[in-house]
Amino acid sequence: MKPPLDWSLLQSFAVVASSGSLSAAARKLGSSQPTLSRHIAALEMQTETRLFVRTPGGLDLTEAGAELYDYALRMADAAEDLRLAREGRAQTLAGTVRLTASAIMATYVLPDILTALRREEPAIDIELVASDRTENLLQREADIAVRMYRPAQVDVITRKITELSSGAFATPGYLEARGIPETIEDLRTHDVVGYDRSDLIIKGFEAVGFKVGRGFFPFRSDNQVVCWQMVVAGYGIGFVLNVVGSAEPAVVPILTRTKVPKLSVWLTAHRELKVSRRVRRVYDFLADRLERLETGPSA
């Protein structure tokens, strides 16, 4: 049986992860860079995995490092709770956490999850920015980002939460008038709702061997909520997350035998922001509920 991880090494690791560099961590801890470097090397040997990669901005956590960082912070929380309990005090969760997510996620997926969060953490206020702009985190316009792609920014903690399935949907009225497509090739004789400047759907079609251009879509908009509402109105066929499409009574699923590529869900936060217990609580809650989207209820 492997020995337990050294708590002192985990403490050094957590501060380096939150600081983004050995020098900054050394200043916070009143230690030295060589000492912290030895601690990280020892921890990597114990865990048998690489925890950091060097980037132009400093040290960036690997995926394994981000997972270990979560555990280290929970241990730090537990230690702090124990200290406060011994002193007859309690650590409270209160304040505002600002999230950013795509319009489709913010409109159709997050409301149930954030409502459940409100029931458990009534002292936490949520600000939600419905946007796919990558600069949200870089400019500190948000504490946490929910993305359907892996963010490439440095100085952030990024974790893949789950993969969500998507499908094609249309209204019964549209299908009655135009017929039901049986294969992806049948879409060439149908009205398909697509994006304007974004090539997300085009790349998705390419992944299943169906090549089209922007002109293939008779209706185009980069606002995913607008696109979905056009499908719900009966304009044509559209693709959306199955958790969204299955909840809309005005549409029915089609092309169910066609394999549509799944979309990865990534949760991202700045290192120093995730040190905030309030931000970390929301981060962990989102991770848990997003992971259960296709396997269980979100409330």
Q: Tell me the pLDDT tens digit for each residue of 215-269.
A: 999 999 989 999 999 999 999 999 999 999 999 999 999 999 888 878 889 888 8
Per-residue H/E/C for 11-52: HHHHHHHHHCCHHHHHHHHCCCHHHHHHHHHHHHHHHCCCCE
- Listing DSSP states for 49-102 in one string gives S--EEEETTEEEE-HHHHHHHHHHHHHHHHHHHHHHHHTT------EEEEEEE-
Q: Please, which pLDDT band fits residue 131 given cuts at 50, 70 and 90? A: confident
Side chain identity at 132, as an amino acid letter? D
Query: Does the pLDDT value for residue 1 go beyond 60?
Result: no
Query: Does the pLDDT value for residue 34 go beyond 70?
Result: yes
For residues 118 and 223, give the distance between their C-alpha atoms in angstroms, rounded to a whole number.
28
Q: List, in order of start, the domains of the chain with CATH numbers.
A: 7-86 (1.10.10.10), 95-163+263-291 (3.40.190.10), 166-254 (3.40.190.10)
For residues 53 and 64, give the distance between their C-alpha atoms in angstroms, rounded to a whole number.
11
- The DSSP secondary-structure symbol of 247 reads T
User: How many alpha carbons lie under 13 Å from residue 85 in its C-beta half-sphere?
Assistant: 6
pLDDT digits (tens, 9 = 90+) for 183-224: 999 999 999 999 998 888 888 888 878 899 989 999 999 899
- Give me the pLDDT at residue 228, please: 96
